[in-house]
Amino acid sequence: MDRAIVVDRLVKNFEVTEKEKGLRGSIKSIFSPKKKVVHALRGISFTIQPGELVGFIGPNGAGKTTTLKTLSGLLYPSSGFVQVLEYDPWEKKPEFLKQISLVMGQKNQLWWDLPAIETFELNREIYEIPRRDYEKNLEELVTLLDVGKLLKTQVRRLSLGQRMRMELVAALLHGPKVLFLDEPTIGLDLIGQQKIRDFIYEYNYKKNATIILTSHNMDDLTNLARRVIVIGAGRILFDGALEELTDRFAKEKIIKISLSKEIDIKEVEEIGTVKYVSFPEVTLSVPRSTVAVAAAEILQNFPVNDLTIEEVPVEEIIKKVFRGELNK
């Protein structure tokens, strides 16, 4: 199997009822409903190789979650071709379901009033995991996620970060080959986010699992994904290496300066576009092609304590993609 996931001209439309304001509008929508079609996915296509970890990013309503739900068999497409591990997802064959997992940061599968270990035992029965494999997988996952002391604690008493790690254990006990992660670090503090990222990296590396990761957190992408798919309004806007996204679309670089004394900022504006000034710090952007010349000119003509050259933040580039600025 040379391709774990194949998506070809995938379309997904939803029919929704429009309701006017007030009681009159509510009554009217019952007896004379006005329908409209929402085009969630507009013919997207991509393939993912076994063991690849891909960042799937876009604004709210772009079609990210709809895509993951379709790939996992929760939604039936309006048209197009989809294949995951050579299965049609919406047929929901047991052989297919035992090889995938969908983790949604805002959805729970753990029983709220029971310890997480009870849900794990239930999943062992559902997925028909042999006892020996279950115990081996459980020990490995619990160790990687550092939740051994929490297995017998009621889920309702766990912190958000602890619950999210338990959700991952529950989702991975059956050793899925394909993992769909929808905002796995949402709402977590910095330490919790890093623990989840470290685990995803380890799981991908050790299990050679195919992973699609959606996230609004750019640290998730820069730390994990070599390839990103940018989607907006149901269409793919970019598909390639994260470095390519930066090299292709970031026409400028950022120069950050720390000064030893105040200067006339208008003199710096002759070199580049000033983005931020708060003595002794000055930040400006300059064209990539002239960044070396600009840095040399600054060092020669201004009282500089320190100077660094940085790439434009990935999130700024992606915002420009969403606004359509990069196609002009």
Cis check: omega of the bond before 184, within 30 degrees of 0: no
| Stated pTM of the model | 0.81
Give pLDDT, residue 289: 87
The domain spans of the chain are: 5-246, 251-311
CATH number assigned to the domain covering 251-311: 3.30.70.260
In this structure, whether the domain defined by 5-246 belongs to CATH 3.40.50.2300 is answered with: no
The residues, ordered by sequence, that sit 6+ positions from 170 with a Cβ below 8 Å of its Cβ are 109, 110, 116, 119, 120, 123
Q: How far apart are CA 42 and CA 157, in angstroms?
A: 43
pLDDT in tens, the chain (328 residues): 789 999 999 999 998 877 777 777 677 777 677 788 899 999 999 999 999 999 998 888 889 999 999 999 999 999 999 999 999 999 999 999 999 999 987 677 899 899 999 999 999 999 999 999 999 999 999 998 889 999 999 999 998 889 989 999 999 999 999 999 998 888 788 888 888 899 999 999 999 999 999 987 778 888 899 899 999 889 998 999 988 887 777 788 999 999 999 899 999 999 999 999 998 999 999 998 899 999 999 999 999 999 999 888 777 777 777 766 555 4
Half-sphere CA count of 299, side-chain side, radius 13 A: 11
Measured in Å, how far apart are the chain's first and last C-alpha atoms? 39
Extract the tokens encoding 6: 């194949």
Determine the 3-state secondary structure of 148 from DSSP.
helix
Give pLDDT, residue 18: 74
- Using left for φ > 0, alpha for ψ between -120 and 50, and beta otherwise, residue 322 falls in alpha
Give pLDDT, residue 328: 46
Q: What residues form DSSP beta bridges with 213?
A: 55, 181
